[in-house]
Structure 1
Amino acid sequence: MLNCRAIPLASVGEISPLFGLLTLVLVGVVLVSLVLQRFRQSLLVGYFLCGVLLANSGLLDWVGADSSDLDRLADLGVILLLFTLGLEFSFKEIKHLRRVALLGGGIQVGLVGIVAGGACVFFGFPFPVAIALAVAIALSSTAVSIKAFHDLGMADSPAARVALGVAIFQDILVIFFMIILPPLLGQGDGEMAAGIAVAVLKGILFLSACWFLSRHGIPQILHAVARTRSRELFTVTVVGLCAAVAFGAIQLNLSAALGAFAAGLVVSESIYSHRVLADILPFRDLFLTIFFVSIGLLIDLGEVASSWALISSATLMILLIKFGAGFLAAKRLGVGLRPCLLAAGALASTGEFSLVLFERVADFGVFNAWPEVEQILLVSTAIGMGLVPGLMRFAERMAPVLEGHRWFAGKADPPFELTSEGEREVLSGHVIVCGYGPVGRVLQQALAKCNIGALILELNADTVHEMMGKGVLGIFADARQPESLEMAGVERARGIAFTFPDVDAAIAGMRLARQRNPEILVYARAKFTEEADRLREEGADHVFHDEQESGQALIKSVLQSYVEEHVLDDFS
């Protein structure tokens, strides 16, 4: 009689448990996300659901894996998230939105923190644990809210700027809290107060050392690597830099996440920041996806079913408290009813950094005595993030109704820093010039004389330094990367000009540009007839054939000594 018992794939010896688990995760993420896209839900929620399905379907046993196999990869996601946060950390933006960040962020985080912390103390949590959970609950999902504002066509609205200012405050708070969390939860050296003081001192010294490296050492290394024009070496250097600084933080008994953030800061003010961001984003997205799936793997549907009343109550209370705090913060900033409601909806849920702090708190064994609390917080976060887009759409519909009843008297005009005029200059209707060689230089100069905005994409580090010295607006980036074109504002651009006769690069960049902006005008160069035909077939609006243009110029130059001016028009 044959034995038909199911055999785990990993037992065959040909498939490792990690490989099998990764396969299930990636395929599951795609399938679940496609379904959620049809319902206009956040993809982050799909990542949670994928983890929940894998953890409760028996598929992990089939591949011989468990959730711990994903932990190291998930940690990489957190590190890369903090690294990109440091890269995108703009001191100019902080200066511009400082009132919004300090006042709005302080009110939102303060109110939520007081209520959440008080509730934790009331339910018997030790005071340090209550502080940690209160901070985690006060944080909001930047990724979900920004996506929702884009979907509503309000990316530059006062409500979006309120949410951005509060997010800046929350980001700074997360970094500081990462430093003091170990001693706060009793894992530092000595008493808690002394441990926090030592941790803060270590953090200051560490960030000071990183600042020194950002002026002496790191730029020189990146410049030497950039001059090799090797994309692979540049990417390896960036990842190595992030890992090295994070490792240094660990050696000082600081978190790897703080080190990754500091590594991002080191590069953020250099000319290489845009190229680094474009190279690192795909890695971050991949490993961050794995992080969210790993959180979903921790959710036990049996525990959820038995605690559904607590989970529903906790989710509702978090949404109501955070919505109210966000509304009061926006109102204090002087915006009208509609922006107040939208900003409050955007800030109503807990977010991705909440999950990071929950996991850090769990690492210290805090949830061992309250395992059901971890389940409640994780599920509430997933549900809340999924409800944010719908909550914002509901808030937008309710605004006219409330305004009609005159229940809210707001200022007619928002503060200057919350308007498009108050924001730093943003290019629109401009031309993206790819390459700053002889042709690119002449084109940029001509556009400048005609007061037409232009932004240069250039891969030669020495040329970018020269551009910066002349005050020419440009970034060190590759036009064949979608992230580079997004940074160049391709969605708002009128045209894109490929000033180098590299047809393959021009076609790759043109396809990406048309995906983001189907109406953009494309200008391209070609050396030979065959290349010019390829560009026209791909849809380039204007193709400049070097051989043909040179031939016509030569004909005119020779014939103008022999024939009258009007005859030369026949050779154009």
Structure 2
Amino acid sequence: MIILGGSVASTALLRRYRLPPVLGYLLVGLLIGPFAFQLIKTPDDLHFLSEFGLVFLLFSLGLEFSLAKMTALRKTVFGLGSAQVVLCSLFFWSILHYLLGLSSEASLIIAGALGLSSTAIVTQELTRWSELNSNHGHAAIGILLFQDLAAVLFLILVPALAGTSDNSFSFSIGLILLKGVALFVVMLAVGKWLMPFIFHEISKTRSEELFVMTVLLVALTSAWITHEIGLSMALGAFLAGMMLGESHFKHQIEADIRPFRDILLGLFFVTVGMQLDYQVLLINLHWVVLGSLGIVISKTLMIAILAQWLGKDRSTAIRTGLVLAQGGEFGFALLTLASANHLLEPEAVSLVVAIIVVSIGVTPVLIRYNAQICQRLLPNKPYEAPIPHSTEELAEATSELHDHIIICGFGRVGQTVARFMRKENLPVLALDNDPVRVNEATIGGELIFYGDASSHKLLMAVGLDRAKLVVITVNKNDDSMSILHSIRTHNATVPIVVRTQDDSKLSELKAAGATEVIPEALEGSLMLVTHVMTQMQIPFRRIAKMVQTAREERYQLLHGYFHGAQSQLLDKSGNPLIRLHPVKISDTCYARGKTVREINLIQAQVSIQSVHRGDNEIVMPEDDFILESGDTLLLQGMSDHIEQAESRLFGG
């Protein structure tokens, strides 16, 4: 309850300011942990449970990386990954041993902890910003996979350095490698022949509960197997996900695993925050800041140099370095084990943990703005992910365009609009803030530019004052509203067509300056009605008139619907949706014998769409219409307003 309560409050607050929720989890862990308010005094009790967050994260990550894709990444995993671990570890070992005077053993353990990066936060943030399948995303994932293997080797190394290991280090390494190869072969066979058969049989039952349980069983079983043979649980989960990544159940599995992954990952980051002793942070603030900056800068440089040396282009190399610049969660386990074996002093462990946590804390910002940072470092160097053009360059590139169409948002809808416009030889220009999409569309011959479509400078640079039409196709109503305000501030006359997913913000968008608002859900309904009525041989002119009337009345006929148990009562912005709800008037109702005016449902912001009396239907009854016992009223409004209207009808 403490963890969930703190997580809900912090995540809600950070979402409001568009900050990464990971920072909230870390802060919650710091506050409730043993070093602050001590609401949870023994965070080690939560460690094993929180590790399942990594298990489900790596399982879902494996779904994205099929065997074929991993084969293509083998040079990155074993070439770039091994080079990164060796170079970073040697660099940090040299600094710690020769400059700071630590022992060879202590220097090697801390160097190993600092050389590893955070699989959890890097994967989560890359997925969040749709960069997982970019060039630098593939490079980062390849390096992280090797780091997971290296973490196992470092964990074996600690007892060997302390002299408490029963086996020689070389024997242990050889045994681990043998187990890893055997596990990979077994998982490959199971994934190819057994798993498709199992999921095919499970899917025949049409039971969501059974399907979810099977997914959980597969993920946890694979993690348990690798844990039992001395490897990382997360590595086993990744292999299981990879084997299922080529099946046609992939997307359903990913959807089912996501709630478990996100909740347990939140718990994982809370336990990371519990590792931070704020007193150590305050007393050694200068060392923590210097150490965090040193890690971020040095790892960025080393990874970028290695990546470019091994064939990556300069921009991909720099962005990979920025993505992997932090310390990692495996470093905590390594430091804890070293402390238990008396290789490190508790004060040194606390200081290094503080440095790693701070470096993890700044990672969401580095990943979010890695393209912009790279642009600053390489101002004259074009690279695979498009960067925002200067307004001067945009103005020059679009100076010859007149009476063109500007499409804000180049997803599936925007691309469909562009294709039809090109068929009519109409000039089209698109703006989008997804660098991967912009890059692919540019290569495909589209006239598209990277940037925020709500920026008035960007809009003016692409010729807003000369445009014949603006089409807004972005997913979020708040973004559409921002773009509308920016356009109308500088051009009050250009027609603007706005696409929305529903009609929840239709009036607001119209008031903000939209010429036409097209709700996808309602237009889809009208299209379906058109086909149904055509099949019923109703004259096309009559159909077209009915559809046009519905549009002219702002889809009033389509507003609201009967909600079932599976229906969502809130839109994506968290606002209640309009719904339809039937209410039957009985002999004891207050409304019996009253007129529509007397019950005054308008005050409750609810309208009576129709009254069913026997076999008759009275649509939109007049104010002097008298309600009788047995009438069924069809109310339209939001859920809480309908509840108020029901109370008025029944009790007055």
Please classify the TM superposition score into its range, dividing by the shorter chain length.
0.5 to 0.7
1:177 aligns with 2:150: yes
* SS class of match (1:220): helix
Inter-CA distance 401–358: structure 2 relative to 1 (3 Å threshold): closer
Alpha-carbon distance in 2 for matches of 1:38, 1:288: 21
Which residue of 58, 61, 67 maps to 1:82? 58
Which residue does the alignment assign to 1:227?
A: 204
Please report how far the alpha carbon of residue 555 of structure 1 lies from its aligned counterpart in structure 2 after TM superposition. Answer: 3.4
Which residue does the alignment assign to 2:87?
A: 111
Which residue does the alignment assign to 1:528?
A: none
Contact 1:133 1:358 in 2 (8 A): no
Please report how far the alpha carbon of residue 189 of structure 1 lies from its aligned counterpart in structure 2 after TM superposition. Answer: 4.7
> One-letter code of the match for 1:555?
Q
Alpha-carbon distance in 2 for matches of 1:108, 1:280: 31
Which residue of 109, 127, 140 maps to 1:167? 140
Alpha-carbon distance in 2 for matches of 1:205, 1:403: 45
Which residue does the alignment assign to 1:527?
A: none
Which residue does the alignment assign to 1:508?
A: none
* SS class of match (1:116): helix
Residue deviations 1:171-195 (CA, integer Å, cap 9, x gap): 2213322443443223765111111
1:387 aligns with 2:362: yes
Please report how far the alpha carbon of residue 391 of structure 1 lies from its aligned counterpart in structure 2 after TM superposition. Answer: 5.3
* SS class of match (2:231): coil
Q: Which runs of 5+ in 2 are unaligned?
A: 387-409, 414-419, 424-436, 442-473, 481-497, 503-517, 545-652
Which residue of 309, 318, 334 maps to 2:286? 309
Contact 2:34 2:43 in 1 (8 A): no
The alignment's TM-score, normalised by the length of structure 1, stands at 0.62
> Map of 1:123-138 to 2, 5 A cutoff?
123-127=101-105, 130-131=107-108, 133-138=110-115
Contact 1:94 1:168 in 2 (8 A): no
* SS class of match (2:136): helix
Please report how far the alpha carbon of residue 29 of structure 1 lies from its aligned counterpart in structure 2 after TM superposition. Answer: 1.7
* SS class of match (1:381): helix
Inter-CA distance 252–516: structure 2 relative to 1 (3 Å threshold): farther
1:375 aligns with 2:357: no
Please report how far the alpha carbon of residue 522 of structure 1 lies from its aligned counterpart in structure 2 after TM superposition. Answer: 7.1
Residue deviations 1:120-161 (CA, integer Å, cap 9, x gap): 44443444x65554344234456666787799x8949xxx94
Contact 1:180 1:200 in 2 (8 A): no
Please report how far the alpha carbon of residue 95 of structure 1 lies from its aligned counterpart in structure 2 after TM superposition. Answer: 5.5
Inter-CA distance 178–388: structure 2 relative to 1 (3 Å threshold): closer
Please report how far the alpha carbon of residue 331 of structure 1 lies from its aligned counterpart in structure 2 after TM superposition. Answer: 4.8
Contact 1:98 1:165 in 2 (8 A): no
Contact 1:80 1:260 in 2 (8 A): yes
1:294 aligns with 2:271: yes
Alpha-carbon distance in 2 for matches of 1:403, 1:206: 43
Please report how far the alpha carbon of residue 237 of structure 1 lies from its aligned counterpart in structure 2 after TM superposition. Answer: 0.7
Which residue does the alignment assign to 1:543?
A: 525
Contact 1:105 1:165 in 2 (8 A): no
Larger CA Rg, structure 1 vs 2: 2
Which residue does the alignment assign to 2:20?
A: 42
* SS class of match (1:555): coil
Which residue does the alignment assign to 1:3?
A: none
Please report how far the alpha carbon of residue 547 of structure 1 lies from its aligned counterpart in structure 2 after TM superposition. Answer: 8.4
* SS class of match (1:540): helix
Contact 2:272 2:357 in 1 (8 A): no
Please report how far the alpha carbon of residue 102 of structure 1 lies from its aligned counterpart in structure 2 after TM superposition. Answer: 6.4
Which residue of 23, 29, 34 maps to 1:51? 29
Alpha-carbon distance in 2 for matches of 1:554, 1:395: 57
Alpha-carbon distance in 2 for matches of 1:554, 1:104: 65
Work out the percentage of aligned pairs sharing the same amino acid: 24
Contact 1:86 1:265 in 2 (8 A): yes
Inter-CA distance 343–215: structure 2 relative to 1 (3 Å threshold): closer
Please report how far the alpha carbon of residue 330 of structure 1 lies from its aligned counterpart in structure 2 after TM superposition. Answer: 5.5
Alpha-carbon distance in 1 for matches of 2:75, 2:253: 30
Alpha-carbon distance in 1 for matches of 2:522, 2:342: 59
Alpha-carbon distance in 2 for matches of 1:134, 1:48: 23
Alpha-carbon distance in 1 for matches of 2:292, 2:125: 20
Contact 2:326 2:359 in 1 (8 A): yes
1:240 aligns with 2:217: yes
Residue deviations 1:453-482 (CA, integer Å, cap 9, x gap): xxxxxxxxxxxxxxxxxxxxxxxxxxxxxx
Comparing 307-316 and 324-333, the one that deviates more? 324-333
Residue deviations 1:345-369 (CA, integer Å, cap 9, x gap): 333322xxx1134225524625773
Contact 1:315 1:383 in 2 (8 A): yes
Which residue does the alignment assign to 1:553?
A: 535
Contact 1:83 1:261 in 2 (8 A): yes
Contact 1:103 1:329 in 2 (8 A): no
State how many pairs are aligned: 429
Inter-CA distance 277–69: structure 2 relative to 1 (3 Å threshold): same
> Map of 1:14-25 to 2, 5 A cutoff?
23-25=1-3
Please report how far the alpha carbon of residue 286 of structure 1 lies from its aligned counterpart in structure 2 after TM superposition. Answer: 0.7
* SS class of match (1:369): coil
Contact 1:555 1:571 in 2 (8 A): no
The alignment's TM-score, normalised by the length of structure 2, stands at 0.55
> One-letter code of the match for 1:219?
P
Please report how far the alpha carbon of residue 316 of structure 1 lies from its aligned counterpart in structure 2 after TM superposition. Answer: 1.9
Inter-CA distance 178–207: structure 2 relative to 1 (3 Å threshold): farther
> Map of 1:556-571 to 2, 5 A cutoff?
none
Which residue does the alignment assign to 1:355?
A: 329
Contact 2:29 2:271 in 1 (8 A): yes
